[in-house]
Amino acid sequence: MRTTRNLTIVAAAMLMFTASLSTLAANKRGEEVVKETRSFFIDRNLGLLKTSMTPFEFGILSPFQLFSGNTEVYGIRISTLYTFNKSMYGLDIGAICDSDDSYGVQVNVANLVNSTQGGLGISFVNITHRNMYGVQMGAYNQSGIQDIAKIFGGVGDARGCQFGVVNLTNSNFAGGQFGLVNISNTVFNGVQIGLVNGCWGPDEILNDYFSTATREASEKQQCVQIGFFNFNPNGYLPLTIGFNFCP
Which residues make beta-bridge pairs with 91? 76, 105
What is d(CA 176, CA 191) in angstroms, rounded to the nearest whole number?
5
Look at residue 121 and tell me if it is in a domain. Answer: yes
114 inside domain: yes
Provide the residue range defining the domain that includes 164: 38-245
Pick the closest to residue 215 from 158, 147, 159 (CA basis). 147
Query: How confident is the model over 220-235, as a mean pLDDT?
Result: 88
State how far the Cα of 32 lies from the Cα of 217, in Å rounded to an integer.
34
Q: Is residue 89 part of a domain?
A: yes
What confidence score (pLDDT) does residue 124 get? 97
User: Does the residue 67 lie in any domain?
Assistant: yes
Q: pLDDT tens-digit profile of 121-178?
A: 999 999 999 899 999 999 999 998 765 555 555 678 899 999 999 999 988 899 999 9
Q: Is residue 90 assigned to a domain? A: yes
C-beta separation of 234 from 245 below 8 A: no
Give me the number of domains the chain comprises.
1
Does some domain include residue 7? Answer: no
In a domain, 16, yes or no: no
Sign of CA dihedral 51, 40, 113, 148: negative
Among 20-24, 111-115, 185-189, 219-223, the least confident range = 20-24
Distance of alpha carbon 246 from alpha carbon 234, whole angstroms: 6
Instruction: Indicate the average pLDDT of the chain.
Output: 81
137-to-33, 67, 79, 124, 225 alpha-carbon distances in Å: 35, 28, 19, 8, 20
Residues in contact with 242: Cβ distance below 8 Å, sequence separation at least 6, in sequence order: 226, 227, 228, 230
Q: Taking Cα atoms as reference points, which of 97, 92, 29, 20 lies closest to residue 56?
A: 92
Tell me which of 27-36, 128-137, 191-200 is least confident.
27-36
Per-residue pLDDT tens over the stretch 66-120: 999 999 999 999 999 999 999 999 999 999 999 999 999 999 999 999 999 999 9
Q: How far apart are CA 163 and CA 101, in angstroms?
A: 21
Residue 97 lies in a domain: yes
- Flag the least confident range among 84-93, 172-181, 210-219, 234-243: 210-219
Mean pLDDT of 44-59: 91
